[in-house]
Amino acid sequence: MENLQGQRFFSLLNTTEDRLSYKRHWKNLTYGSQCGQCQGNCIYSAIEIGFLIGVIANLVVIGIILKDSRLRHPAFMGIAALAFADLIFLCVNLVLSFETVITTLWCIRPVVLSRPFYIIKSVTWFSANAHVALLAIIRYVSIAHPLRACSILLPLRVFFISCGVWILGLILLGSLSLLITHKIITPGISKEFVIVWWLMVYLLPLTVTVILHILKLCFVRTVLKQKRSPDTENRKLVQRMSTIVVMVIIMATVLPLPRLAYHCLRVSGILTSVESKMHLKGISQLFYLLNHCVNPFIYGFLSITFRRSLKSICLCADDDDTEHSITKESSIFPPNQSVTMETKQ
């Protein structure tokens, strides 16, 4: 019965290219698993479903920022834009994870081909990484150039910049598609494709993020040293900022590396064992998703202001400390450089 259903669905695919894509997709879904048993790739996909917590966390971050008008700050608008990009990214990847588990356990041929999801995954991945860099830019400008930030970094302008990031992702992916169409590079199996794509999506946003976070931290420490007697609160704020910056840099740098290593080993032909490919791909995919699952916790739930706003909304009570923590000017800056501390946000 299963073979008849598969033959009927296969006959509906019009072109040879669609049939090859379908075969590759089905092989990837069911490799290492028997019908009715979740094994091999299915196990990794079942673990990936646990990243639904990232979907929920990103929804909470977006909802709280939209609900609380006191959070209409450029930094929080940037956090909301990042949460939206991570939300779409996780949803697209988890759809494929659910599909893998369902088709393996129920022995049903998939009705969704991987190509549209591959394009969407690529755009959302670039957008999520680019929004991390955008948030680093917003926070650096807010601290190093507060007067300029008041006139440039308006919430509505941050929204349009976020839209521009999505458009840029489409343009880059379209340019890469042209190179593939003209057979200048081969998708997935060529070293040139891996190098070009990872340079655009991983290395460029990471470089911007690391440099700006380090410059921001150096600026804050320099201002703090200029004060003859900085109080204990400001020292704690700077220490907290340093910890968060280190966490952001480590997470953004380390978590995508297993996936990069997998692609490099795959295109170089070093991975000859089919079982090794399956396990390395599954493990790298877990770290790949974890990188975008932790963002709402680092940028949202670790924020004192965000937690106060979440508490006030859940308890249906106004919290004056939330607005106060947003508008409070830190005393570590001289009068002409008054700005809200990032760690308070």
Q: What is the mean pLDDT of the chain?
A: 75
Higher pLDDT, 149 or 113: 149
What are 208's two structure tokens?
A: 């911007």
Q: Which two structure tokens, joined as six digits, stand for 317?
A: 């009570």
User: Quick count: other Cβ atoms within 10 Å of Cβ 296?
Assistant: 26
pLDDT band at 211 (very low <50, low <70, confident <90, very high): very high
- The pLDDT value given to residue 160: 92
Instruction: Please tell me the distance from the alpha carbon of residue 50 to that of residue 256, in angstroms, as a whole number.
Output: 18
For the chain, what are the domain ranges?
2-6+24-322
Name the class of domain 2-6+24-322.
mainly alpha
- pLDDT tens profile 220-264: 888 877 765 556 667 777 778 888 888 888 888 898 888 888 888
306 pLDDT above the threshold of 90: no
Among the ranges given (94-98, 112-116, 282-286, 304-308), the one the predictor scored with the smallest mean pLDDT? 112-116
Q: Is the pLDDT of residue 155 over 50?
A: yes
Scan for tokens 């199996």, then name that residue: 189
pTM: 0.73
pLDDT higher for 290 or 23? 290
pLDDT in tens, 49-82: 888 899 999 999 999 998 888 888 888 888 999 9
Give the integer Cα–Cα distance in Å for 172 and 165: 11
Q: Quote the tokens at residue 117.
A: 């999801």
> Collapsing DSSP states into helix, strand and coil, what is residue 143?
helix
The predicted model gives 207-229 an average pLDDT of 83
Percent of the chain with pLDDT strictly greater than 90: 10
3-class state of residue 113 by DSSP: coil
- Measured in whole angstroms, the distance separating CA 317 from the mean position of its chain's CA atoms is 32
Tell me the residue length of the chain: 345
pLDDT computed for residue 13 by the predictor = 44
pLDDT at 58: 92
- pLDDT tops 70 at residue 89: yes
- Which one-letter amino acid corresponds to residue 108? I
| Crossing angle for the helix pair 304-314 and 52-67, to the nearest 10 degrees | 80
Q: Output DSSP code: residue 298.
A: I
